Structure 1
Amino acid sequence: MSDIIAVVDDEKCNPNKCEHECINFDPLNRSPTGADGFHIDDETGKARISESVVMEGHRVCATKCPFDAIQIVNLEKETGEKLHQYGENGFRLYGLPAPKEGKVVGVLGRNGTGKSTALRILAGDLKPNLGEYDDGVGWDNVVTAHRGTELQTYFERLAEEGVVASSKIQRVDEIQDAFGGRVDELLEQLDERGNVGRLVETLDMEEAVSKDVGSLSGGELQRVAVAGCLARDADVYLLDEPSSFLDVKQRLNVARAIRNETADADGDRRAVVVEHDLATLDVVADLVHVAHGEPGAYGMISNAMSSRVGVNQYLRGYLKSHNLRIRDEEITFERGTAGTSIGETVVEYPTLQKKFGSFELNVESGDLREGDVVGVLGENAIGKSTFVKMLAGELEPDNTSLDAPATFAHKPQHLEAQDVKVEYLLMQDVEMNQRFESFVERPLGLDELYDRNATDLSGGELQRVGVAACLGQQADVYLLDEPSAYLDVETRVSLAKTLRRFARDAEVPVVVIDHDLVFLDYIADRAMVFDGEPGVRGHAGAPDDVSDGFNDFLSTVDMTFRKDPDTGRPRANKPGSQKDREQRQTDEFYE
């Protein structure tokens, strides 16, 4: 049977600034029986309600809360035992991914459904309480609850402190707070397997090892974090979003490093990888668990499936083995119009050249058309952001002046959060009209963010606000630099639909730089490929046929893709697989 639960977000709950609507509108508190519903807890100072009395009528409390701090949720059919709960009315997790010797296990799902909590439990940093959040439970209880499952032995070893876990943190910038020396000094301290040299080569980190940790970019920090994790002599390697900040080639290198050091090692090591980039997941994972539920309220971890089956069932929104629908609509993929943009030309730009120190960029002349989405592909430090900054008028080309009559709206790669409410932030640049409401506000789910301070937003929430601020401007051309960063798969697909619909309905060109090939494949009508040598020289041709562009780019990063017959999504081939070899023989890197 389905249970109704109440979940209170303590960060949003602010009884000092509201009129206690959850209490005043609670049907139990208003009944003549005097039953105790929502109340302010003396210890926490936050709204609380006994879980035994939550009922359908309490949805009015969630609706009336001015800070959206309360969720009244119908639990889906449980797919596992309750593993952990963060206190009364707190987030709860059902199930756990099971590490397997000699395998890489992937975890895929929406943000806020317990993936990072699962990694903390597997690492031994968080002891599961089986829902007994007041007093907790002993390890014997945890082991007994998982008797007969693959996790029984794992928990037995955890109880005896017999599991050595090595974790790669999600927030890699924290490395700079914890260590102040050079990269090679840090890796030398962590090298317990004698494999640092091999990792540096696989991850293409030769130039980074001599740098101070404090001077590293986000991509360099990510690779250092992965190398440090895999350098430790551990039984299980736990990697949370290892592809963030990385370009396509670097993501492939990370996937190879994880497989080489775990699944393809001596067979007694194992890895669990939480990842939103489906192409990276295709390459790295042998098996996939799907995390589903209500973000911030509860999460459930499915059983293990092959990587293809797991990803496809997630995209369909239906877990066949559980007979459970986790989403109302399927996520399907249709490739763009392969360069046949029907709109008139909005902007023609000439050949553009720019030099920064030892780096030199050359972009061939091209055009941008009505309703046209141009996907921009290329490695990091190859000139993609420089190109859109020149179009936007933020940088002056060395060889010419851009005096185009067109106006440009630009979402930069790096977003800075201002210390103001989101609604006020958007009102500075955005015209709040029906077009904005239909094409931007509703699809990006901005309602839930308006009353939040921008400095309190997560990376994904800030990304949605940044995209909205760009699309909400009145402009002839829209330029978005890495809009999918920090977003989970469902949000990326929703964003892709938003961008395609916006371009078509507003009849404007949209230029999108991104490293998620599945995301770009979903939205691009034409492709623009940057090649060269990162940090030294960059070159780009004009926007052209999307299939040819993807094929050229994938050949440079040494990766093959094929179209999945069930979902239509572009699926990365595992290097060395039969399909990978067949496509390479015909130079068909993008089937």
Structure 2
Amino acid sequence: MGDERSRAARKDRYAAVIDQEKVTDEVRDVALKYDPLNRSGRQEGFHVTADGELHIDDDRVIEEHRIVEHRIPNDAIKIVRLPAERGRLVHQYGQNGFRLYGLPTPVEGRVVGLLGPNGVGKSTALRVLAGLLKPNLGASDGAEWDAIVRAFRGTGVQRYLEDLRDGDLRAAYKPQRVDRLPGRYEGTVGDLLEARDERGSRATAVERLELGGLLGRRTDELSGGELQRVAIAATLVADADAYLLDEPSSYLDVGQRLTVARALSPLAGARRVLVVDHDLVTLDVACDDVDVVYGDPGGFGVVSRPLSARRGINQFLTGYLRSENVRIREDAVDFLRRPGRRVSDEEPVVEFSPLAASFPSFSLRTEAGAVRRGEVLGIFGRNGLGKTTFAKLLAGAIEPDDGEVAGDVRVSYKPQHVEPSYDGTIRELFEEAVGDRGRAFETGVRRPFDLEPLLDRDVGRLSGGELQRVGVALALARRADMYLLDEPSAYLDVDGRTSLATHLRAFVEEGAPCLVIDHDLLLLHYVSDRAMVFEGTPGERGIARSPESVRRGTNRFLKTVDVTFRRDPNTGRPRANDPGSRKDREQKRSGDYYVA
């Protein structure tokens, strides 16, 4: 008890996170000059090492070092407050690098979710538990396995790490970036799953994840959603003790997300499953428990104690972890009610009669409609129904077999996959792609999408979420009559999706409309002024309905995937009803599939 009191009485601890790639001569000079310890004559603060790197010992960092942080022009130094005696320091990426405190506890027969913003160590925790990263406990020269196991004595993680150390535990890991799968495996889906199937569960996985029509296709012929389901199946058919999946919902439509979420536990059986995801519906349906991961993005991350899925998600959104008495954000994530806007009287930017387009294995037809000035048109529909094909028809990239598009429009397009193929910095990319747009670019794109910290970073070194922000911003920075964003929420965290919706609505108020194709139902419902629903048979034929109200469109779409949503009474977030439950039956009878 006395030890607990002494811990509580200790002052907050701080750490300096230094991005050595951003350290210039000016940064070094400012750090040395304004360091409060150096100015006092103690010379114990920031200093330059023999190899030219800026450094400060962890135990010397104090709150007053924020003076240095505020004088640095390029975010090269961040002074972050560390959680005092909260959890175990599991891993640190070099001197003054990112720190991860604590690990989630894998539990046999349960699905555990990890929820938190980008940059706080969720993927690092997964890689540790997968055996891909040996934790160093903060030691620059690494740590021995016996010391690592002792650090978790008395916790559920101890036995897991012991088995990992002794080679008695095997983990199967699905990485975040499934779009890289074709570069690693060039054969057919059937051959891949057959080679990976060590449990005789291939047929079950194919059925539950709806992969029957893909078995003869090569991986480089698959869409993002198809790649995702194949990667999940290839992970779950392996004979492993733990299955670790990083963002399994990316590129999946609502129906597929729920299919995957409901398949995880039956496919894994009594084994351990850990899931990192930003889609709250996926986590809510799939997980028994949720560990919230919080901290300072890029600085440090802390893994909370496990909570039930509902409590964990709700406490993450409100920003306060009750059992740990920790506030993890200043403001709650507010699921704003969809703001009402009337755009029916605005002039059309493009009009189209009923259209038809046929391809060797797919056909699309649309009802007549128009895209109007100053609106966000939300595109709802399952994968493989021709949503992107429709956008190309409007842009003139594809000629329809029947019907016509009235209006010669320039379309700026953000594709589904944003490839980090540019060899240079973000600043150079924007200068080359859009030139100097002056104040309009600064206020409309650069500042809202928080590009400043990324401008001097190489494109090839961006994370999935950072690359997505850059892709969206680049599309909006181009001069165009209409904008098309294909799955802009992929790899974005909850805060990033909320910010995207807010800034996108502000952007279209300037006049040019925007078509948004996405599978985050909350994002689409909030950001859209009207909805256009695609129906049909995925991969064979698509039917695009005329644009209609968001309420009617949402209900029409959810009816096609046979899913109903209610709102959580505490946070207002959408939650999927259990199939056949009383609430599910009541909403289907009333035709109100989404209670807003």
TM over 0.5: yes
Q: Following TM superposition, by how much is the alpha carbon of 1:284 offset from its aligned partner in structure 2, in angstroms?
A: 0.9
Distance in 1 separating the partners of 2:415 and 2:135:
41
2: distance between equivalents of 1:361 and 1:395? 12
The answer to whether the Cα contact below 8 Å between 1:28 and 1:34 also exists between their aligned partners in 2 is no
State the shift of 1:174 in Å.
4.4
Are 1:346 and 1:509, in contact at CA under 8 Å, matched by a contact in 2? no
SS in 2 for 1:506: coil
SS of the counterpart of 2:507? helix
Asked if structure 2 preserves the Cα contact closer than 8 Å seen for 1:77 and 1:324, the reply is no
**Residues 457, 575 of structure 1: alpha-carbon distance in 2 compared, 3 angstrom cutoff:** same
Deviations 1:261-319 (A, max 9, x none): 13xx3xx3221100111221122111111111111111011121222221122122222
Q: Any conservation in 2 of the 1:28–1:37 contact (CA below 8 Å)?
A: yes
Partner of 1:481: 486
- Paired residue secondary structure (2:274): strand
Amino acid at match of 1:336: R
Q: Pick from 2, 25, 43 the counterpart of residue 12 of structure 2.
A: 2
Q: Which residue of 1 aligns with 2:143?
A: 136
1:104 aligns with: 111
Matched, 1:538 2:545: no
CA–CA distance in 2 between the matches of 1:110 and 1:229? 25
What's the offset of the Cα at 1:354? 2.1
2:327 to 304, 325, 328: 325
Report the secondary structure of 2:412's partner residue: strand
The 8 Å contact of residues 411 and 467 in structure 1, kept in 2 or not, is answered as: yes
Which stretch of structure 1 is more off in the superposition, 122-131 or 325-334? 122-131
The answer (yes or no) to whether the contact 2:176–2:246 under 8 Å persists in 1 is yes
Query: Are 1:355 and 2:352 matched, yes or no?
Result: no
Contact 1:283 1:575 in 2 (8 A): no
- What aligned pairs does 1:399-438 form with structure 2 within 5 A after superposition? 399-404=402-407, 407-416=410-419, 417-427=421-431, 428-429=433-434, 432-438=437-443
- 1:31-53 CA deviation, whole Å, 9 max, x = no partner? 3736143344446x533221122
- 1:246-285 counterparts in 2 under 5 A? 246-262=252-268, 265=269, 268-285=270-287
Shift in Å, 1:252: 2.2
Determine if contact 2:33/2:39 at 8 Å carries over to the other structure. Answer: no
8 A contact 2:106–2:112 mirrored in 1: yes
For structure 2, the residue ranges without an aligned partner over 5 or more in a row are: 1-10
Q: Secondary structure at the match of 2:546?
A: coil
The aligned residue for residue 446 of structure 1 is 451
Q: Deviations over 1:226-271 (max 9, x none)?
A: 1121112222211111122222232222212212213xx3xx3221
Return the TM-score normalized by structure 1. Answer: 0.90
TM-score, reference length from structure 2:
0.89
Residue 483 and residue 544 in structure 1: after superposition, are their counterparts in 2 closer, same or farther (change >3 A)?
Answer: same
Shift in alpha-carbon separation, 1:171–1:46, aligned structure 2, 3 A: farther
Which residue type is aligned with residue 99 of structure 2? R
What is the distance in 1 between the residues matched to 2:28 and 2:399? 55
Aligned 8 A contact 2:251 2:487 in 1: no
State the alpha-carbon separation in 1 of the partners of residues 109 and 500 from structure 2: 36
- Alignment partner of 1:68 is 2:75: yes
205, 209, 216: which is aligned to 2:215? 209
Aligned to 2:46: 38
CA displacement 1:414-446 (0-9 Å, x = unmatched): 334433432343344266344443343222101
The 1:179–1:434 alpha-carbon spacing in structure 2 relative to 1, beyond 3 Å, is closer
Q: CA RMSD in A?
A: 2.7
CA distance in 1: counterparts of 2:173 and 2:142, whole angstroms: 28
Residue 125 of structure 1 deviates from its aligned partner by 2.9
Kept in 2, the 8 Å contact 1:203–1:253? The answer is: yes
CA distance in 2, matches of 1:498, 1:199: 40
Percent identity over the alignment is 49
Q: Which among 109, 117, 132 is matched to residue 125 of structure 1?
A: 132
1:60, distance to aligned residue in structure 2 (A): 4.8
Where does residue 155 of structure 1 map in the other structure? 161
Aligned to 2:213, the other structure's residue is in SS state coil
Q: Answer yes or no: is 1:548 the counterpart of 2:555.
A: no
CA shift, 1:63, in A, is: 4.7
Cα distance in 2 for partners of 1:506, 1:247 equals 30
- Give the counterpart letter for 1:318 in structure 2: Y
- Structure 1: gaps of 5 or more residues: none
Change (3 A) 1:360 1:335: farther
Q: May I ask how many residue pairs the two structures share in their alignment?
A: 582
Deviation, 1:150, is 2.6
Indicate if the aligned counterparts of 1:410 and 1:470 stay in contact, CA closer than 8 A: yes
Letter in 1 for 2:460: T
2:123 aligns with 116
| Residues 478, 184 of structure 1: alpha-carbon distance in 2 compared, 3 angstrom cutoff | closer
2:3 aligns to what?
A: none
Q: Write the letter of the residue equivalent to 1:31.
A: R
Aligned partners of 2:237, 2:203: CA distance in 1, in Å?
10
1:491-511 per-residue CA deviation (whole Å, 9 max, x = no partner) reads 1111111112223x4244322
| Larger helix share, 1 or 2 | 2
Q: Deviations over 1:40-82 (max 9, x none)?
A: 4446x53322112223443354455565332221224554222
Note if 1:559 corresponds to 2:563. yes
Which secondary structure state, in structure 2, belongs to the residue aligned with residue 293 of structure 1?
strand
CA distance in 2, matches of 1:475, 1:376: 19
How far did 1:119 drift? 0.9
